[in-house]
Chains A and B, each alone.
Chain A
């Protein structure tokens, strides 16, 4: 016979089971050292730095938002 307590336990068990399954998946993730991950983030920055307009700045003539002369409203 299934009791009210039994039903509650079932709900809690299924939640706990899902949590355990999720944690197993996360525990199984392959990881690398922070030193290696960091140097890869850095080398991506370095490789792309010169093409980053907000980082290196672009002359007004090449940036559509930087006006070369004041706008005249026609």
Chain B
């Protein structure tokens, strides 16, 4: 009996030492290829001029903190969700509200528009992700057609439709991500590996294939193969929770925003962090990030109520935008890149251009 115990703790010890040696090998391999910094290579690129970006629309109507928003592919409609349980669909050109539904829970932390524009998904403290078809029939009660799709064992922090209305990817406070079939509610794949709550996810641009990136309270960003459920790459350089992740438009890199007050750029083919966007004067967490269409600009919303615009290649800040009267919680560039929308704890959304 004592002999058996000894054998098993030897196996455990040898596994631990193999893990340690693999970790150092990983660091060595990554370091070998670290021949230069991105901003050094970018010295030959022309500097950007002055940017004039203003609030062009203010969407008012939520009764409490705006937590999440998403654009419709029509580049015009926006869905947003709030702490008070309301989910609203807006026409951002006119600022009119087109649909509104009240969820059975408060803190609707995630919402997403379906690619067809015919449905939205949302969820939060109810631990679920539900899909609501959008109808223009005034007599129809939107809430009546609700379909529960995803079930987690803790809050829903993020959701996104894949390339069609048929599948949804979710991230949860239960530490996992999952892929679901919308019609049947069936779990198609689950993604285990984060050591704490997963706070965000983003799907790779369709040309790059079936992967997505997630970020969590374990300070890790992880890249997953959607078919196998396998984590293919992981990055751990942030010093606090990662609140937002977004792919670079080519799919070869992704940006992250964190409570450590920095945003970072990770290149997938170099398999390492290649840029940090930070300033000594920025001490509040970055809650949400998104790229402009060419990938040259990174827009980041912060807990100090501001939006900073970064030159992705040179690593410098090109603009700081004021307007919100509380934390910026969510930010997305429109599908055709003509504007971006920010949502805030000040109950409003702003469209900037």
On whether the beta carbons of B294 and A49 are closer than 8 Å, the reply is: yes
Q: Mark B249-272, 1 if CB is under 8 A from A, else 0.
A: 110110000000000000101111
Q: List A residues 1-55 near B (Cβ within 8 Å).
A: 1, 3, 5-6, 9-10, 12-13, 16-17, 19-20, 22-27, 29, 31-42, 44-49, 51-55
* Any A CB within 8 A of the CB of B137: no
Chain B hits for A29, CB < 8 A? 232-233, 271
Q: Does A38 contact B12, Cβ atoms closer than 8 Å? A: no
As a 0/1 sequence over residues 23 to 52 of chain B, the CB contacts with chain A under 8 angstroms (1 = contact) are 101100110011111100110010010001
Residues of B near A23 (CB, < 8 A) are 19, 22-23, 26
Q: Which of B92, B230, B270 counts the most A-chain CB atoms under 10 A from its CB? A: B270
A39 touches B41 (CB 8 A): yes
Chain B positions within 8 Å of A54 at CB level: 53, 292-293, 297, 333, 337-340, 353
Check: B16 CB closer than 8 A to any chain A CB.
yes
B182-194 CB mask vs A (1 if < 8 Å, else 0) is 0000000000010
> Contacts of A52 on B, CB cut-off 8 Å?
292-294, 296-297, 337
Is the pair A37, B22 in contact by a Cβ cutoff of 8 Å? no
Q: In the bound complex, do residue A35 and residue B36 qualify as a contact, i.e. CB atoms below 8 Å apart?
A: yes
Q: Which of B15, B36, B249 contacts A38 (CB 8 A)?
A: B36
Please tell me if the beta carbons of A53 and B337 are within 8 angstroms of each other in the complex. Answer: yes
Pull 5 A–B residue pairs with CB atoms less than 8 Å apart, ordered by A.
A13-B12, A20-B22, A25-B230, A32-B270, A63-B338
